[in-house]
A and B are shown apart, each in its own frame.
Chain A
């Protein structure tokens, strides 16, 4: 370093490239996607509205009612700015950006979100931070992803692996809270309809600029309101038992497994809805539900007719910690849409006497997903039944990304026997689970051996 105080070295971004000052820009127009706003009103409005918060800040942060009202009104709005052209950047940048047609990216497909947490607060550190997830659900241009985004990433781009590098959506709301529970999902607006509005509006104002907007790629499918997602996801069903509803999974053409707390009483009649992708309702009856004292929160429904066109899942025989897994459930949207898909890894397999009795995953699981299936993303095999996620009783915080499933290996022999003979004997064994299994599901440490007396 020279003795003379020279000009300060330009701060170097981690990538080691010199930094430049921000550029002035001009607001050309504000634009929104009416279909996004209509679906938003249908899914999050009405009596559901009071349950939902789309805060740009943590739930308990001080946000005035006016500000929150403003944020809600602006949720489906975007802005088109004109910036002084940057010739150097134009040469540097690769091929022009392409926009994925609506419906070209199926549910469960991997997505890459790019935004800057906390906006312009400290771009040296936070600019263009990446986050990965899957397309969890879609209602027209209103999309959900489990890619975790933070305040400040609103307006950021979300890209697909296929069509390669296509712009799929813009982040509309990074933090979604339902009934004070962070649901671990990010609300997106599909890019294609927004770009179409921009192209039409610019066409009148600046025709040459309109031509420079990203073109659409990918096969536009008429997006069924209930895109079934990956083939194996179609085995997930919605179970409605009087006023309670939850998720379930088909394990035989006329047999559905769900949670006891969804369908608690035997002989109760329930409605099972499945989406292949049109929505079909079938009546069924609860033929088995574990006792309240059983650690396994399970119920079995026998249907009055076959689940037409629903692929029967292959039950897994082994579990591999760290493997990619997917949860399919009716949380968040419930009956208003098909099931949501969230992805993660199998974070733990808890064993008693070397037998798996509990599975844990990092997928986003929230109210309404109970009873739904946990799949191996690679093989599509059924690994387990989602039973619960985690709440810290001291702080009241809910952790959607720590959840518990009943391994299918615990249930499969009994389900097979019931399917073959109608005999509930093996299922009744679930009420007599050993004490160490009960201890595990009470989230306590399994006693390795009885504490020895010191006398």
Chain B
């Protein structure tokens, strides 16, 4: 990538992360995950997509389309929500991937 991309590459590599959401005590319920951006290291602030929280909303996803809502407080989600953030180069071991991962990605030969 040309020199012009240096700052963007650094910003991307240093702020990119993944966020996974699961239900306390119910690992079999699976987990939801998405990507995110580290906005600040100290205090640690991460912004990610809201889609992974819909299964945990006390009032259901309808709360997201309530007319005026632009913000919902953190306690809009149930207490059983467990969140984890991973960022480079810190990631779980492959074994942990198996638990977290979605089944069945494969690499068919072209």
Chain A interfacial positions (CB closer than 8 Å to B):
10-11, 13, 15, 17-34, 56, 69-71, 73-75, 77-87, 89-90, 92-94, 96-97, 110, 112, 114-116, 118-124, 127-128, 130, 132, 152-157, 159-162, 164-167, 170-172, 194-195, 197-198, 201, 206, 208-209, 212-214
Contacts and interface: CB of A to CB of B under 8 A. Distances in A.
| Residue of A34, A69, A84, A154 ringed by the most chain B CB atoms within 10 A | A154
12 contacts: A23-B86, A71-B54, A80-B47, A82-B46, A89-B87, A112-B8, A114-B13, A118-B105, A120-B31, A122-B97, A155-B37, A214-B39
B7 interface: yes
Contacts of B9: 112, 130
A124 B43 contact: no
Interface in B26-49: 31-49
B83 to A, nearest CB: 4
Contacts of B1: 132
B57 to A, nearest CB: 8
Given A27-B81, A79-B48, A153 B74 contact: no
B106 interface: no
Given A71-B51, A73-B62, A155-B36, 5 more contacts: A80-B45, A81-B46, A167-B37, A212-B40, A212-B43
B64 A156 contact: no
A137 B35 CA distance: 23
B83 A121 contact: no
Interface in B79-94: 81-94
B40 A80 contact: no
B18 A119 contact: yes
Contacts of A24: 82-84
B110 interface: no
A116 B16 contact: yes
Nearest to A194: B47
A70 B85 contact: no
A148 B94 CA distance: 26
A121 B105 contact: yes
B11 A73 contact: no
A79 B11 contact: no
B35 A69 contact: no
Nearest to B22: A120
Contacts of A155: 19, 34-37, 47-49
B109 interface: no
Contacts of A130: 9, 12
Interface in B51-95: 51-55, 61-62, 64-65, 69-74, 76-77, 81-94
Nearest to B11: A165
